[in-house]
Structure 1
Amino acid sequence: MVDHQSADHELMKRLRPVQSIEEVAYPTSRQQTSWSLDDLPRTVAFNLHQGSTVTSMDFHPALHTLLLVGSNNGDITLWELMSRERLVSKPFKIWDMTKCTLQFQATIGKDTPVSVSRVTWSQDGSFVGVAFTKHLIHLYVYTGPNDLRQHLEVDAHNGAVNDLAFAHPNKQLCVVTCGDDKIIKVWDLTGRKLYNFEGHDAPVYSICPHYKENIQFIFSTATDGKIKAWLYDNMGSRVDYDAPGQSCTTMLYSADGSRLFSCGTSKEGDSYLVEWNESEGAIKRTYSGLRKKSAGVVQFDTTQNHFLAVGEDSQIKFWDMDNNNVMTTIDAEGGLPSLPRLRFNKEGNLLAVTTADNGLKILVNAAGVKTLKAIESTTSFEGLRPPIESTAIKASGSASVTNANAVNCKVERSSPARSTPIILGVDHLSRSFDKLRSVEDAVDKPKPWLLTEIQDPIQCRLVTMPDTTDTSSKVVRLLYTNSGAGILALGSNGVQKLWKWGRNDQNPSGKATASVAPLLWQPNSGLLMANDISGVNLEEAIPCIALSKNDSYVMSACGGKVSLFNMMTFKVILYLHVKLIFKKLGFYFYGSP
């Protein structure tokens, strides 16, 4: 099954499933020791009408109720699930025909419509990538609630662009594409082609960029069932696998990057869902329960590092990753197409699935119900967010201009915020936070603390937080993250630092423990969460930090300005200038934007 040289075998040995320091940078879903069907989003919360057949979906990586949707008519739409509002809708159009190849200009006038084959968010949520069934890809910059700005248009492939993904070779944000021309290409954010991978003998159906132990690589799959792996060196494919049944397949890693899965359908209509052993290049587990003679390629997704879901036979089928047999099957109250497409949000508490009437359904578990109720009852955080300039725009300059097979092999794998501008003020902000806090308290009342008196030093543990940055600053505030997997500290210099525990053999739960040292975490951008303390007398400043319930945001004050940070990127998304007036019984915040 495997045809590669010894050097290639060594490469795959190096891709063994262990967690590297860099991989800790990507937050993973919640960890827990026991699982049940209640953890799966199986209850239909509501339906959305897209107006055209949904061909691809992707949730925003940090804003978990924001969904990006691509359609058969070429439209892309941004949905806010908390209010069921269509925030942005972009119909297909060519931004600059003069930059397109003559071949594309000759085909675009034909009657065949241009559809979306793939929509996806960049890892930090600042970019949206769109691949189309004719030649083109579009990149948008997401800068605020309902603002998708045209950034880049590339005539990327001869024929359909079947898949698109973001990657970080050499710590540079890039776009990886593949198409009917049998080629994989890598582009920078200015539209310059960096790599051109050739070697497939059939149209390339999907791509899966990943990295392990500082090795950046791309898995690719073709419609003839071939799977290849590429390094960013223009030296050709490193491995050559056969997908089970030589099926047209997609590949996905679990959220923590430790497990690799594929799902697809052969020309004969037989479908396969498997887990791979990367170090051996062999199938580790085959999941049972998929029907025979499918009329197209089945699609799948993973969530919570524990579950797999497949859309098939007008149903959704769920598996425990560690069990070959189907856990449960649901029809989501009916109305699903024969091969529904589906996508989990990053928390795993919402599941979007396509319907036969040109729409989609949103399914929830208990945590998803609380999420939607809590957010519906308060002003959205993102409604408070002003548009911000993307770091990628700064790096790349100003925005650019504006098969013969029996099975139809068109790719799908699969968000975000509020449109109404809001005038900022402390009173409004504090009311919003009070609402959010009261709703959270009503929805999920915490259990009373059981206090234990410390009577012996053996009850205390000491753990040293590693830090290679400035150590002269004194810690003035310290708190656990809500997930219990990290510690956030505010320094006297106004800089926040975050230490996180990763899952490994010594700490399988990934929670805070004194037996394993945590890792100082920063996003790939190298940004720090730093308050603006210009003109502040730190002797009189009252330092404080607070985390949102889902650990997505940090609010911090170290002086006369309140800062709101995005925990995924460490970017400040709100500065609020305030004054502190001290009274005998306390102090008050007031100010203006």
Structure 2
Amino acid sequence: MKYFEDEVHSGNWDEVEKYLSGFTKVDDNRYSMKIFFEIRKQKYLEALDKHDLSKAVEILVKDLKVFATFNEELFKEITQLLTLENFRENEQLSKYGDTKSARAIMLVELKKLIEANPLFRDKLQFPNLRNSRLRTLINQRTTDLLCNYSLNWQHQLCKNPRPNPDIKTLFVDHSCGQPNGARAPSPANNPILGGLPKAGGFPPLGAHGPFQPTPAPVPAPLAGWMSNPSTVTHPAVSGGAIGLGPSSIPAALKHPRTPTNPSVDYPSGDSDHVSKRTRPMGISDEVNLPANVLTVTFPGHGHSQTFNAPDDLPKAVARTLNQGSSPMSMDFHPVQQTLLLVGTNVGDIALWEIGSRERLVSKNFKVWDLSACSMPLQAALVKDPAVSVNRVIWSPDGSLFGVAYSRHIVQIYSYHGGDEVRQHLEIDAHVGGVNDLAFSHPNKQLCVVTCGDDKTIKVWEATNGTKQYTFEGHEASVYSVCPHYKENIQFIFSTAIDGKIKAWLYDNMGSRVDYEAPGRWCTTMAYSADGTRLFSCGTSKDGESFIVEWNESEGAVKRSYQGFRKRSLGVVQFDTTKNRYLAAGDDFSIKFWDMDNVQPLTSVDADGGLPASPRIRFNKDGSLLAVSANDNGIKILANSDGMRLLRTLENLSYDASRTSEAPKPTINPISAAAAAVVATSAGLADRSASVVAIAGMNGDARSLGDVKPRITEESSDKSKIWKLTEISEPSQCRSLRLPENLRVTKISRLIFTNSGNAILALASNAIHLLWKWQRSERNSNGKATASVPPQLWQPSSGILMTNDVADTNPEEAVPCFALSKNDSYVMSASGGKISLFNMMTFKTMATFMPPPPPATFLAFHPQDNNIIAIGMDDSTIQIYNVRVDEVKSKLKGHSKRITGLAFSHVLSVLVSSGADSQVFLLACFLQYIA
């Protein structure tokens, strides 16, 4: 590998291919095909970068045309690069840096493809030779017949010699394996992994992103399971997709979606999901995930290291709600921690605000469009109109929620804050009951995964309901699904009522796993919040219940938890929280386990009144636990943080209800509103701000009770709640001076990019500086760090992003800038005109709004980058549409210059702050703009 790496870094492409051809050919498998494609694509791009068109055409015809057989559209797009003055004008190549960094990034992917390619197995690590190895061989047989006799002699010494031995090397003594195969077959010979298709369709070019992900052939958790005896013979898809964009492997999602704990943290640096739609001109759109709401923070508690039940488990009854019918499924909002979605046994759904005990939404089951339903469904509803909810679940960002019913139907609603719920999609999904529902995000596209009595799993596009995949292979009704993301691969676990576990990639190649769950009946699966540990919970037909942890690398049960009633009176439900605890409803109580201890930690009966197998659900940070109760009730258990959160919201609701009785304001179209609740660590005083009425653009007041606080979750470890830490020693800090050669005297503004791999600065001389961290051995993820210096980045054209400063006084100017969510655009001003720059090419896309007055603060609209909020020095806020070059509205209310602007998509508000020490909140603002 070292020689190969050196040649790639040097760009000796002929030698790279020649050396590689000694091990594999381009059509051996999809790994090899992807390797050769990436090398030839890089060679082609370098020729284009040097404007050597004749060389580029030669590479296109001789080297790249072979791939046109597999993806003609891709080949056409590669060909069209010849027509561009700079291939970086292509959106998917806009983040292509210089040649050196591009080679380094490509090499990271090539190494992963080579390591995953079965043809390279046992060829990447040079064996360690024992001293006097040659003497050993000579002693085994005469030197003149070294190869033939030595190998045969070694084979004769085998304990279990095979008729046709597979002897590969003289470096170590040969020994045949066990006759029955004591070890699992290597992936190269595995019947599942071995059937690698040599040709196949490649996905179309993806949306604009930092880099294109490169899936591994099969995720490690599935590979181990497949090495076990199995009747499955479906071939697996291997290798990554061939694409035009620069190569890279984004960081895995830290908190993947599971059917029992929706905790996806999608907006991680390299894998920012950007929803785009075609525009004739202007800036590309992007969706701002997750929702932005008012923030409430509370101190955390350290984990107890004793066997006693820790204090951070929610055990005290804080609320009792009367649902009106028996709860069948519950799910907390992923952002608004006290918002609970409930589905019942008569088909009702409800949305509760736990803090205020208010039922915001209540809906009975109703088919939205009966004429669009299948005849079997219409006949079933006429025969027996009784329908139950089997599953309710929020989408990862909380903007949608899904309801799976016991009759054919899945309904998807959109949520817009408060009590505003709208019909989004109705899908006649399965013949019979829809038993489970989950959201997943394959190929950066939000999808709905369903399973049902018809023994199938189906994947639907979440925006329009188009069916993407149907997975068939189960021999019984499918009971649950568990989508997951690991090692750059999206896959789905499914379980059926015969206890079979199967796993599927998003293709039509069949299941990759065929295993049996303990109990062999109704089983659900879930990952811990950080996605590193896999658990399943199930109950047998005889009432025996199991919770087990799986060893993903081996496909075997790693740990089986004890403490269940010998004969459970129902199917046990479970959930996980804090990457540490398991909980299950059993024996009229809730039982808790530490994930690392098979013995139960404790159990609580929630003051009695629970069914035999209550249904349970944690909120995202584990401070609240919803439990189904007898008499159509729901009990909310809380720990100390949960209690504090509920009390805070109760006080907010009370204060807001009092202020809502006050007369409507008449002095301004914008009325002041502010709410800040901060409960800090011990020793810091509580601080709060009074809550006043919120007025919309039309002057109508509404209560702040519609604004739902949440616990901030900025830490990558969700089991830890933020605490203040005093830094008293210099050794606790690490500093790094960023390189610059532009003689900058002062940095006026500084910001990290959303992907976390760069810093953008605006200097006092109106020039922008961009420092990027590259992937390297010392910085494998390419993220910002003080351990490795970044590079001051400029495009090959050498141009700078420089603001207009004509007729401005630098001492009076207020520099400001804003970065789009996908890091593609920066909007900036230094006292003069506002400039819009392309971050990849540094080109100025537009300048507008010359002073006076100058801009003092800038913000992109969360859903449409063409809409910009501009705070002005004259205290006004202007809403500007870049695409049509028009000021859409002008907002007044502040008395001094604007110092801050922030949008909230879910709450439909724009918050502004001014030098007059006031904070204004513009209600219903986003709908107004739309």
TM-score by length of 1: 0.73
Which of 382, 393, 396 is residue 120 of structure 1 equivalent to? 393
Unaligned runs of 5+ in 1: 384-417, 466-472, 480-485, 500-505, 519-524, 546-555, 582-586
CA contact (8 A) 1:206 1:250 kept: yes
Which of 218, 225, 233 is residue 507 of structure 2 equivalent to? 233
Tell me how far apart the structure 2 counterparts of residues 42 and 21 of structure 1 sit (CA, whole Å): 36
Deviation of the 1:370 alpha carbon: 1.4
Secondary structure at the residue paired with 1:235?
Answer: coil
Amino acid at match of 1:574: V
Secondary structure at the residue paired with 1:244?
Answer: coil
Alpha carbons of 1:527 and 1:39: their partners in 2 closer, same or farther (altered >3 Å)?
farther
Amino acid at match of 1:34: H
Alpha carbons of 1:53 and 1:531: their partners in 2 closer, same or farther (altered >3 Å)?
farther
Tell me how far apart the structure 2 counterparts of residues 247 and 531 of structure 1 sit (CA, whole Å): 57
Amino acid at match of 2:251: I
Q: Tell me, yes or no, if structure 1 residue 104 matches structure 2 residue 334.
A: no
Q: Provide the residue aligned with 2:486 in structure 1.
A: 212
Which of 575, 583, 586 is residue 910 of structure 2 equivalent to? 575
Tell me how far apart the structure 2 counterparts of residues 381 and 274 of structure 1 sit (CA, whole Å): 47
CA contact (8 A) 1:538 1:558 kept: no
Q: Provide the residue aligned with 2:635 in structure 1.
A: 361
Amino acid at match of 1:575: L
| Residues 255-310 of structure 1: per-residue CA shift (max 9 Å, x gap) | 11111100000111111100011121111111011122223210000000000000
Alpha carbons of 1:321 and 1:359: their partners in 2 closer, same or farther (altered >3 Å)?
same
Correspondence list, 1:499-518, <5 A: none
Which of 366, 370, 382 is residue 644 of structure 2 equivalent to? 370
Q: Tell me, yes or no, if structure 1 residue 11 matches structure 2 residue 346.
A: no
Alpha carbons of 1:448 and 1:246: their partners in 2 closer, same or farther (altered >3 Å)?
closer
| Residues 500-542 of structure 1: per-residue CA shift (max 9 Å, x gap) | xxxxxx99xxxx9856999xxxxxx848999998759799877
More helix per residue: 2
Amino acid at match of 2:673: L
Deviation of the 1:214 alpha carbon: 1.4
Q: Provide the residue aligned with 1:140 in structure 2.
A: 413
Secondary structure at the residue paired with 1:228?
Answer: strand
Q: Provide the residue aligned with 1:452 in structure 2.
A: 728
| Residues 133-176 of structure 1: per-residue CA shift (max 9 Å, x gap) | 00000011112211110011111110000001111111111111
Alpha carbons of 1:63 and 1:7: their partners in 2 closer, same or farther (altered >3 Å)?
same
Q: Tell me, yes or no, if structure 1 residue 22 matches structure 2 residue 296.
A: no
CA contact (8 A) 1:229 1:238 kept: yes
Deviation of the 1:215 alpha carbon: 0.6
Tell me how far apart the structure 2 counterparts of residues 279 and 517 of structure 1 sit (CA, whole Å): 36
Q: Tell me, yes or no, if structure 1 residue 54 matches structure 2 residue 327.
A: yes
CA contact (8 A) 1:477 1:544 kept: no
CA contact (8 A) 1:132 1:160 kept: yes
Amino acid at match of 2:492: I
Tell me how far apart the structure 2 counterparts of residues 183 and 361 of structure 1 sit (CA, whole Å): 35
CA contact (8 A) 1:344 1:351 kept: yes
Secondary structure at the residue paired with 1:318?
Answer: strand
Tell me how far apart the structure 2 counterparts of residues 334 and 85 of structure 1 sit (CA, whole Å): 23
CA contact (8 A) 2:673 2:919 kept: no
Alpha carbons of 1:132 and 1:558: their partners in 2 closer, same or farther (altered >3 Å)?
same
Correspondence list, 1:224-373, <5 A: 224-373=498-647
Q: Tell me, yes or no, if structure 1 residue 80 matches structure 2 residue 353.
A: yes
Q: Provide the residue aligned with 1:411 in structure 2.
A: none
CA contact (8 A) 1:561 1:576 kept: no
| Residues 419-467 of structure 1: per-residue CA shift (max 9 Å, x gap) | xxx999876423x23xx2489976699999867375xxx56413699xx
Tell me how far apart the structure 1 counterparts of residues 456 and 921 of structure 2 sit (CA, whole Å): 56
Q: Provide the residue aligned with 1:93 in structure 2.
A: 366
Q: Tell me, yes or no, if structure 1 residue 429 matches structure 2 residue 709.
A: no
Q: Tell me, yes or no, if structure 1 residue 34 matches structure 2 residue 303.
A: yes
Q: Provide the residue aligned with 1:401 in structure 2.
A: none
Alpha carbons of 1:343 and 1:474: their partners in 2 closer, same or farther (altered >3 Å)?
farther
Alpha carbons of 1:438 and 1:306: their partners in 2 closer, same or farther (altered >3 Å)?
closer
Tell me how far apart the structure 2 counterparts of residues 305 and 447 of structure 1 sit (CA, whole Å): 18
| Residues 166-198 of structure 1: per-residue CA shift (max 9 Å, x gap) | 111111111110000101011113121110100
Q: Tell me, yes or no, if structure 1 residue 194 matches structure 2 residue 468.
A: yes
Tell me how far apart the structure 1 counterparts of residues 316 and 598 of structure 2 sit (CA, whole Å): 24
Secondary structure at the residue paired with 2:324?
Answer: coil
Tell me how far apart the structure 2 counterparts of residues 127 and 117 of structure 1 sit (CA, whole Å): 17
How many pairs are equivalent? 499
Tell me how far apart the structure 2 counterparts of residues 87 and 72 of structure 1 sit (CA, whole Å): 19
CA contact (8 A) 1:370 1:443 kept: no
Secondary structure at the residue paired with 1:98?
Answer: helix
Secondary structure at the residue paired with 1:61?
Answer: coil
Alpha carbons of 1:439 and 1:291: their partners in 2 closer, same or farther (altered >3 Å)?
same
Deviation of the 1:577 alpha carbon: 5.0
CA contact (8 A) 1:532 1:561 kept: no
CA contact (8 A) 2:496 2:522 kept: yes
Alpha carbons of 1:451 and 1:259: their partners in 2 closer, same or farther (altered >3 Å)?
closer
CA contact (8 A) 1:48 1:360 kept: yes
Tell me how far apart the structure 2 counterparts of residues 591 and 199 of structure 1 sit (CA, whole Å): 54
Tell me how far apart the structure 1 counterparts of residues 446 and 922 of structure 2 sit (CA, whole Å): 36
Tell me how far apart the structure 2 counterparts of residues 517 and 323 of structure 1 sit (CA, whole Å): 43
Secondary structure at the residue paired with 1:429?
Answer: coil
Cα RMSD (Å): 4.5
Deviation of the 1:576 alpha carbon: 3.4
Tell me how far apart the structure 2 counterparts of residues 558 and 199 of structure 1 sit (CA, whole Å): 58
Secondary structure at the residue paired with 1:141?
Answer: strand
Amino acid at match of 1:11: V
Q: Provide the residue aligned with 1:409 in structure 2.
A: none
Tell me how far apart the structure 1 counterparts of residues 312 and 533 of structure 2 sit (CA, whole Å): 20
Tell me how far apart the structure 2 counterparts of residues 572 and 491 of structure 1 sit (CA, whole Å): 31
Bigger Rg, which one: 2
Amino acid at match of 2:330: M
Tell me how far apart the structure 1 counterparts of residues 645 and 475 of structure 2 sit (CA, whole Å): 46
Deviation of the 1:111 alpha carbon: 3.2
Deviation of the 1:578 alpha carbon: 5.7
CA contact (8 A) 2:342 2:392 kept: yes
More strand per residue: 1
CA contact (8 A) 1:271 1:298 kept: yes
Q: Provide the residue aligned with 2:126 in structure 1.
A: none
Tell me how far apart the structure 2 counterparts of residues 464 and 8 of structure 1 sit (CA, whole Å): 51
Secondary structure at the residue paired with 2:652?
Answer: coil
Q: Tell me, yes or no, if structure 1 residue 177 matches structure 2 residue 450.
A: yes
CA contact (8 A) 1:73 1:114 kept: yes
TM-score by length of 2: 0.48
Secondary structure at the residue paired with 1:159?
Answer: coil
Which of 417, 437, 440 is residue 164 of structure 1 equivalent to? 437
Amino acid at match of 1:272: F
Q: Tell me, yes or no, if structure 1 residue 462 matches structure 2 residue 722.
A: no
Unaligned runs of 5+ in 2: 1-183, 196-216, 225-248, 256-263, 267-296, 689-721, 739-745, 773-778, 791-820, 835-848, 860-868, 873-897, 924-930
Tell me how far apart the structure 1 counterparts of residues 393 and 914 of structure 2 sit (CA, whole Å): 42
